[in-house]
Structure 1
Amino acid sequence: MSTLEPLFEIPATPLIPVKGETRGYPVHRIFCVGRNYAAHAAEMGVEVDREEPFYFTKPASAITPTGSTIPYPPGTENFHYEMELVIAIGAPAFRVSVEDAPKAVYGYACGLDMTRRDLQQASRLKQRPWDFGKAFERSAIISDITQTGDFPAIGKQRIWLKVGDEVRQDSHLSDMVWSVPEIVSHLSRFYHLAPGDLIYTGTPAGVGPVVAGDVITGGIDGLRDLALTIGPAE
């Protein structure tokens, strides 16, 4: 039987630098936790679902390395930042317990879930999926990954974001509603998690709009900081 050849060029798999490694982390899928900080849910006019976490996804084409300049995206007039802790999965995980979930974690990074807020809110009002607001190119910014052995147990590490010199988000990882082990365990009930899967764990309060020319910086204690510049609209 002949082997099929692709009709067109296959997009390259995004590779994320890893602290202390010469090889990159290949991105498979991107999951994002919604409303994982109570104060952020309140500022969005909704409540946290404390029965179980919920998720949305982004395409691998959303991955953008720290230090990049991205164009102000099409279709929106209200482009928002969301600073987040990112989990990088490094081992298969399917129906794992909360106790065993940390074994599947390869490392952590700082991330930005960039959001077309007006499109997300319009979809929410119509009870439609959030894809237009969340799942678009260059919307998942990420710093270099720090392996778990070089990052202390998650607790009261500060998570912060600035636009220019102004602090807009300032919280702690201990404010997350769902912990890393709980998120990994819960998500593994519905997916065969695999090396290359990223999980953006939600954002604290203080989200807001950016415009062309803005420079965003953010960080989490113990991880590499990230930076992003917003360029002119496409």
Structure 2
Amino acid sequence: MTPDRHDTPPGPATDLHAPTDVDGLAWGSEPPEPRADATFYTPIWLVAVFGVFLYWGSTYVDRNGGGFNPLVFTPGERLADVEARVPRSEADALLAQGRKVYNLYCTACHQPNGRGDASRGFPPLAGSDWVLAEGPNRIIRIVLNGLQGPITVNGVQYDNQMLPWRDQLTDEDIAAVITFIRGNKEWGNNAGPATPAQVKAIRDATESRGTYTPWTAAELLTIPVKD
């Protein structure tokens, strides 16, 4: 009969020649307890794979995340809003800049729809014969130095004062807002653009007027609408 592991084997337990069971343990001995200080190592290949995926993920987010810009993750509700944020060409970029300038400085008087406010004497820009003139020479002067006194727009007289923007807006800003106003198809306007070079030329030519000498309609009517 085969002795059980826990049966007392013949001879002392410390005998080097004491019989053992199939596990190599001496009869009557207990298996060793697991060591609490045992160390387990993560395979190097697993660390390398994790590093590669981490690098790829961070690179992908950096290239495609838009810098977490809200304009990327909060798109416009209308196509016009999207195009204003992501212009398709230089002309579109100028229109987008002009829209921003107009919304900041012009809507209080001329209204978001460009129809002005007749009750307060502010003329419309939508469909205006002054705005849609063959060239932008007169309207550039109005934006630079303002306008004072009565002005007749599409046969209707308006009488209020427009502030000068010579010191507040750059040549690019003025060209952009005039381009936006003259070419705003939402208002039915379809006139040609103004350029920063045109604005600079008129700014330099009228520098002697200073900032606070507004134009009158009578003065402007003596100036050609284009060069």
Asked if Structure 1 and Structure 2 have the same fold, meaning a TM-score greater than 0.5 normalized by the shorter chain, the answer is: no
Q: What TM-score results when the alignment is normalised by the length of structure 2? A: 0.24
Q: What TM-score results when the alignment is normalised by the length of structure 1? A: 0.24
By relative contact order (CA 8 Å, sep 6+), the higher-ranking structure is 1
Larger Rg over CA atoms: 2
